[in-house]
Amino acid sequence: MLVCAAALALAPTAQAQNSARPAPEAATGWTAKAAVVAAHELVVAAHPLAAQAGADILAAGGSAADAAVAVQLMLGLVEPQSSGLGGGAFALLWDEATRKLTSLDGRETAPAGATPALFLAPDGKPASFYDAVIGGRAVGVPGVPRLLAALHARAGRLPWARVFEPAIRLAESGFAITSRLARLIAADKFLAGDPAARAYFFEPDGTPKRAGTVLRNPGYAAVLRALASGGADAFYAGAIAADVVAAVASEPHPGSLSASDLAAYRVIEREPVCGRYRAVTVCGMGPPSSGGVAVLQILALLERFDLAASRVGTVASAHLLAEASRLAFADRDQYLADPAFVPQPVAALLDPSYLAQRAMLISPERSLGKAVPGELPRRAGALAPCCAPDASLELPSTSHFSIVDRAGNVVAMTTTIEDAFGARRMVRGVLLNNQLTDFSFLPERDGKPVANRVEPGKRPRSSVAPTIVLGADGNPMIVVGTPGGSRIIGYVAQALVAMLDWGLDAQAALELGHVVNRNGATDLEAGSAAAALKDGLEKLGHAVNLAELNSGLHAMLRRGGTWIGGADPRREGLAIGR
C-alpha cells in the first residue's frame, strides 16, 4: 500500500473501565431500506428531515458543501443526541474543479486549564465513566460551527444565511419526535438532571416526551439566526459564548473552559491519508483521528488474500477481517494521537514493506491472538515509541453523511458529541459534547506518558473514518462513513471490502452482519447472519462476543454514470437523490 499524502497494550484498569461502558445509542430496531439510484446528486444522512434539507439545498443550486451545512444544522435539531453545534467533526471534501481532496479537522480541543489528571479520582485512580462524562469537565471546545464556516468558505455557492433557513424554519415550527429519539430520551438516566434539557425533553411532570410529540426549539433557532448573520464568530464570542462558559462552570463536575478557549479555536486543514488497495485509492482522515490510518492498514493487510474467493458471510472472510483489524488496533493504540503533541509515524505505519511483514502474521488456519505493536522501519521516518499504549474506546453517539452534487463535488463528514446527549448540558437549545473523555483517563503507564493523555489545547484521538475512494479513473467512486465509536474502523473496512471485493452495492454492503475486532474478542452482530459464524471462529481460536453492533453507515457507490446510495437499516437514515 502506498501513501499518497499523510498528516504528520492496554492498561488493565482502562480495559475494565471500557468493558463496563454501555452503548449510549442502543439499538432501536431494523428498518429495511432500498438502494437509491441518482444520476445527478445524492444525499445520505441519519434522519429523513436532514437528508431532505440537504436535497432541497442541492435542488436550489447549492453545492455539496452548502448541503453539508444544512444537513448538520438539521441533525443538531432532529438528532440532538448524536451531533450538533456543541460538538466536533471531521470532513473530507473533493473539489471537482481542482480535482483535489482536502480534509478539515474540526475536532474539539481541551481547554487551557485541563491537566493530565483531569479524570483521576482523589485516590489517583480513574474516575468512573459517567462521573467523568456528566458535567462541564468533559466538555471540549466545540469545533462544528467553525468547520461549517470553513466548508462554506471553501466550496459554498449559496449565500451563508440561505443554508440556515431549513433548520431555522423547523426549529420554530417544530418536528415530531421519532421512535428512536423517544426511546433514547426515556432510557437516559442523566438527561433530566440538566434544567434546560429537562424542560425540553420531558413533560412538566417529569415523564419523557413520547414519539409523535412536537418539539419546538426557539433557543436553537435564535442561535442559528445569530450565526447566519454574524458567522461562526457569533458562537465563539459574545452572549452565546458566555452562556456556554457558564454552563461548563456549573455543578456537577465543573470544567475550566473559558472565553479565551472559545476565541482561540481554529479548524485545521490537513492532508488526507491515502493508499492504494487493489485498483483503487482509498483516502481518509489522518491523526488525531486513527480511523484513516487503521482502515488503510486493514486493507493493506488483506490485499495478499483473495477475498472474492473467501466470499461474503463465511468463516474464512470473517477470520481474515478480524485478524487484520487486531493488528491495526495494536498499532493504533501504541502510536496514534494528536500530531501537535506526539510525533505521528504515519508514513511508517503505511509503509508497504512494513505492512507486508505484518500481513505474514495472519494465518488462514488460526487466530494470532492478542497482537502487539509492530517495530516500525526507521527508513520510513518512524520514531521509537515515546509513550505507553492506550486503548480508550470512544462511544458511538455520532452521525455521518455523504453528499455528491451535480458538479461532482463530494463531502464525507462524520460529526459527534461523543456519548448520547453529550455532557447533558444544554445551552440555548444546543447540547454540549463530553469529548474530553476520549482522552485516556490514565496519564501514564509503567512510568511512560500515554500518547492520548489529556493536555491543554490537545485534540483527543478519534476513530472516525469518513472515507472517499477514488476509482481507477481518478474520480470519486465510494463515499462512506459511520458512527460506532472505535468500532467505526471495522464497520468502514468491512463495507469497503463488501463493495470492492464482493461486488455488493451500497445498500447491500451496509446490511451485512458486522464482524469487528479491536485486538481482543471478535464481536459478531447478534441477530444477524454473522452470528452463525461463532462456532467456526471459535474453532480458529477466536474469543467471540455476540453484541448489538449499532452502526449508522451511509454510503454512496458510483457505477458507470450513476450513484447508488445506501442508508444503514439499523438507524433512521435515508438516501435522497435525483
Interacting residues of 165 by C-beta distance below 8 A, sequence separation 6+: none
C-alpha distance from residue 101 to each of 92, 331, 353, 432 (Å): 7, 26, 26, 30
The alpha carbon of residue 289 and the mean position of all alpha carbons in its chain are separated, in whole angstroms, by 9
Query: Which amino acid, residue 308?
Result: A
Q: 207 catalytic, yes or no?
A: no
Q: Is 2 exposed, middle or buried (0-12, 13-18, 19+ CB in 10 A)?
A: exposed
Burial tier of 222 (Cβ tally within 10 Å: 0-12, 13-18, 19+):
middle
Q: Which of 102, 109, 178, 398 is catalytic?
A: 398
Return the closest-CA partner of residue 270 out of 537, 516, 25, 91: 91
Name the pairing type of β-strands 410-418 and 426-427: unpaired
At 73, the amino acid letter reads L
- What is the C-alpha R_g of the chain? 22
CB 323 within 8 A of CB 537: no
Asked if residues 374 and 368 have their Cβ atoms less than 8 Å apart, the reply is no
In angstroms, the CA 328 to CA 419 distance is 24
Collapsing DSSP to helix, strand or coil, 431 comes out as strand
* DSSP secondary structure letters along 289-347: BSHHHHHHHHHHHHTTS-HHHH-TTSHHHHHHHHHHHHHHHHHHHHH-S-TTTS---HH
End-to-end CA distance of the chain: 36
Active site residues: 398
